[in-house]
């Protein structure tokens, strides 16, 4: 088997001189795990909490961990998400056959606000939204994600992580519809 960094697409395998049958044999032997259509990973080389994100990013470079998954990553929630929340720019096709992924489509004009590199996983650079952007998104999408989650994340960010309210308010400039709501929440908590 060709040396790999943990994440392998069929295109990568073909470029390395492997056939599909050789990749399928590696899956059958348990050395690779299929996590999406045409995307495989070495389970020993990739952190399981980032496996879905790394696999999706191998297909869509702009994939970004968001909402509950990002809250958990930043230590702002104790939730145990069943699926990894992954955002792509609105209008971008979601890769097929990824289990345990909750897809979200965010506006292309604000997609990169707060998007930060997390680390390189299996040779793929993965991204997560900053704590500030994640809190803003939770307030923006409280009708789907739950208002309690947004409030608890904000409280934890302020108390446990010593969040700087001015950084959060700077992030809300890109999301004016939720700025007043977050400002009122900050006034109550401070």
Query: Which pLDDT score is estimated for 121?
Result: 78
Tens digits of residue pLDDT in 17-30: 889 999 999 999 98
Distance CA 38, CA 17 (A): 16
Tens digits of residue pLDDT in 138-180: 999 999 888 899 999 999 999 988 899 999 999 999 999 999 9
Structural contact between residues 126 and 50, judged by C-beta atoms closer than 8 angstroms: yes
The ranges assigned to domains in the chain are 130-190
The 3-state DSSP class for residue 41 equals: strand
């Amino acid at each position: 088997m060709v040396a790999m960094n943990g994440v392998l697409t069929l295109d990568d395998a073909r470029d390395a001189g492997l056939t599909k049958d050789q990749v399928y044999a590696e899956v059958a032997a348990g050395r690779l795990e299929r996590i999406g259509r045409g995307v495989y990973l070495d389970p020993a080389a990739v952190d399981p909490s980032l496996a879905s994100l790394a696999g999706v990013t191998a297909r869509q470079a702009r994939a970004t961990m968001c909402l509950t998954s990002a809250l958990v990553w930043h230590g702002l929630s104790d939730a145990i998400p069943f699926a990894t929340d992954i955002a792509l720019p609105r209008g971008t096709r979601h890769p097929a056959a990824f289990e345990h992924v909750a897809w979200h489509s965010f506006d292309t004009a604000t997609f990169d606000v707060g998007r930060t590199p997390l680390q390189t996983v299996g040779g793929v650079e993965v991204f997560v939204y900053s704590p500030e952007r994640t809190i803003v998104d939770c307030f923006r999408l409280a009708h789907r994600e739950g208002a309690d989650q947004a409030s608890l994340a904000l409280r934890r960010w302020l108390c446990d992580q010593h969040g700087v309210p001015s950084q959060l308010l700077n992030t809300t400039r890109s999301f004016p519809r939720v700025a007043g709501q977050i400002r009122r929440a900050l006034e109550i908590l401070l």
